[in-house]
Amino acid sequence: MAQLSILRYPDARLHKVAKPVQAVDARIKALITDMFDTMYDASGIGLAATQVDVHERLIVIDVSEERNEPMVLINPEVIWASEERLRGDEGCLSVPGIYDGVERPARVKVRALDGEGRSREIEAEGLLAVCIQHEMDHLMGKVFVQYLSPLKQNRIKTKLLKQEKQERREQLEST
């Protein structure tokens, strides 16, 4: 089991645009396994490769209560989005402790390759639709806080930078 390190906002690498996966080969399959381990360990419902500093279009998701419905989306594309939009609270493993409302299309249809490289179409609503759109934003270098006001973004940046400094101080003190 390999745990990957998750980039934390405001790390500039979270804003890189991911490139398409060229082949679903052994390297990508190993990355998928490590991303699921990392996501489950962090109690997340999704994780984009961007968040573990790999800038390729790959997402892992599991929105099930039992944590037994893993879903892999490689090179995902939204092929339809509903006109109806819903606002819901979102969180992010790269923005720990921050939750805020974001408005997005209520339902989406996405085409992607699965973990075996087979093309799939997924119709999603509810939490799955929110999670897919949130993770696809990561692949475009967008973090959910960028939907919030500049004032809120600045407050979040300051809070997380302060937390990071404090954690580094505590680490130094314990060595």
Catalytic residues, by residue number, are 135
Number of residue whose CB is nearest ligand K1U: 44
- Contact by Cβ (8 Å): 9, 92: yes
CB 161 within 8 A of CB 153: no
Tell me the window of 76-84, 88-96, 119-127, 156-164 that interacts with Zn ion (CB under 5 A): 88-96
Of 60 and 113, nearer to ligand K1U (C-beta) is 60
Helices then strands (H, E): number in the chain? 3, 7
Q: Is 92 in the site for Zn ion (CB under 5 A)?
A: yes
H or E stretch at 164: helix 150-173
Give the whole-angstrom CA distance, residue 39 versus residue 59: 11
Q: Which is nearer to ligand K1U, 21 or 39 (CB)?
A: 39
Q: Cα–Cα distances in Å, from 163 out to 58, 106, 119?
A: 29, 34, 42
Secondary structure (3-state) at 104? strand
Stretch that binds ligand K1U, among 15-23, 85-93, 118-126, 158-166 (CB under 6 A): 85-93
Q: Is 90 in the site for ligand K1U (CB under 6 A)?
A: yes
Residue selected from 10, 46, 76, 115 as contacting ligand K1U according to rule CB under 6 A:
46
- Smallest distance, Zn ion to C-beta of residue 173, A: 30
Which residues are 111's β-sheet partners? 77, 121
> Could you say whether residue 76 binds ligand K1U (CB under 6 A)?
no
Residues making contact with ligand K1U (CB under 6 A): 44-47, 51, 90-94, 130-131, 134-135
